[in-house]
Homo-oligomer: A and B are copies of this chain.
């Protein structure tokens, strides 16, 4: 005999289909739809659910307590008797309970998840940064969901949408090569989701950024080439829209200017960071009427391609051609007599980026957060750029 839970009527009840496996009723008296409250019997079993995961309700039922009690016990809430608490904990392990993070996140509007968008995974740079990020985040109890833009603007937009849909608590990003429009990141900002950019940043967005001193690194690299007697130094640069390209180019020109060299625009090439393009532009440079005697490349993969190209042409490195890269990829130490390069603190970069995003998430009011953190680079001098004699001469002259 079914009684309407609203008007207590008994006679005017009609069956009205099933909802999620439970009989549904309609009270014709008060025109009210309802299902019967789930019976609180300890042995109540969901009959037709496959692979049912244990919930706090299951624990509550087997113990004959309310789900709030269970919730409190599970979270070590102070207002609960030690006995109940232990009882709950025991049955939880007994029933192999695993909390449902989804339900938690839904109710708390917190996912404890940070999203990171990186352009690629092929050079060791981004994986290394991620290692640093993850170290800090997992310590703080956050998960990391990693997405690749694959250097595509459209994919990057999709990534940010997915971040939004999954309600990540914060986003870490490094821009794709194609990205020139930043609306998708502004959409995140607008919703109050903190973002920290690293490495491939953009000046248009005024959030916090973590970068290395690209200018300084490039400056040191080119000055080092000058000190080794190279006089016609080319720059195989990156795409002009990236700040790292701009800064490294600026370092290059500044170093030349400081030492009284002219800037030759024909020796400045804008490429795309890949070895394929480096090969083409490298050929072009070395085929010039007056080819350069040194090349400062925007990153290690392109520098290595130049090294390979030089070898195939019978050019001696460093005698005929000096080469300096940027990144200190592991391979740089081992290729030929070693590639001189600018080392970036990738791991540290990851850690600092992660710390920044955590700070942004946890700040109550608008605390002060540094606009941009600039990490220092280190010039690692190896065989591809050291011409002993010149170095001596130069240092002599400067003393």
Which residues on A are within 8 Å of B, measured CB to CB? Answer: 5-8, 50-51, 53, 96, 98-103, 105-106, 111, 121-122, 124, 127-128, 130-131, 134, 143-148, 161-162, 164-167, 187, 190-192, 304, 308, 330-331, 334-336
A166 to B103, alpha carbons, bound, how many Å? 10
The answer to whether B121 and A111 have CB atoms under 8 Å apart is no
- A143: contacting residue among B145, B187, B192, CB under 8 A: B145
A-B contact pairs, 14 of them (CB 8 A): A5-B6, A6-B6, A51-B192, A96-B190, A100-B106, A101-B166, A101-B167, A102-B105, A121-B130, A127-B127, A145-B145, A304-B334, A331-B331, A334-B336
Q: How many copies of this chain sit in the oligomeric assembly? A: 2
Extra A-B contacts (12), CB below 8 Å, given A98-B165, A106-B106:
A5-B6, A53-B191, A98-B191, A99-B165, A102-B105, A102-B167, A103-B106, A122-B124, A124-B124, A144-B145, A331-B334, A334-B335
User: Which residues from chain B contact A192 at a C-beta distance below 8 Å?
Assistant: 50-51
User: Which residues from chain B contact A330 at a C-beta distance below 8 Å?
Assistant: 331
A130 to B308, alpha carbons, bound, how many Å? 28
User: Which residues from chain B contact A336 at a C-beta distance below 8 Å?
Assistant: 334
A229 to chain B minimum Cβ distance, whole angstroms, is: 26
The CB with the most chain B CB atoms within 10 A, among A7, A105, A190, is that of: A105
A21 to B99, alpha carbons, bound, how many Å? 26
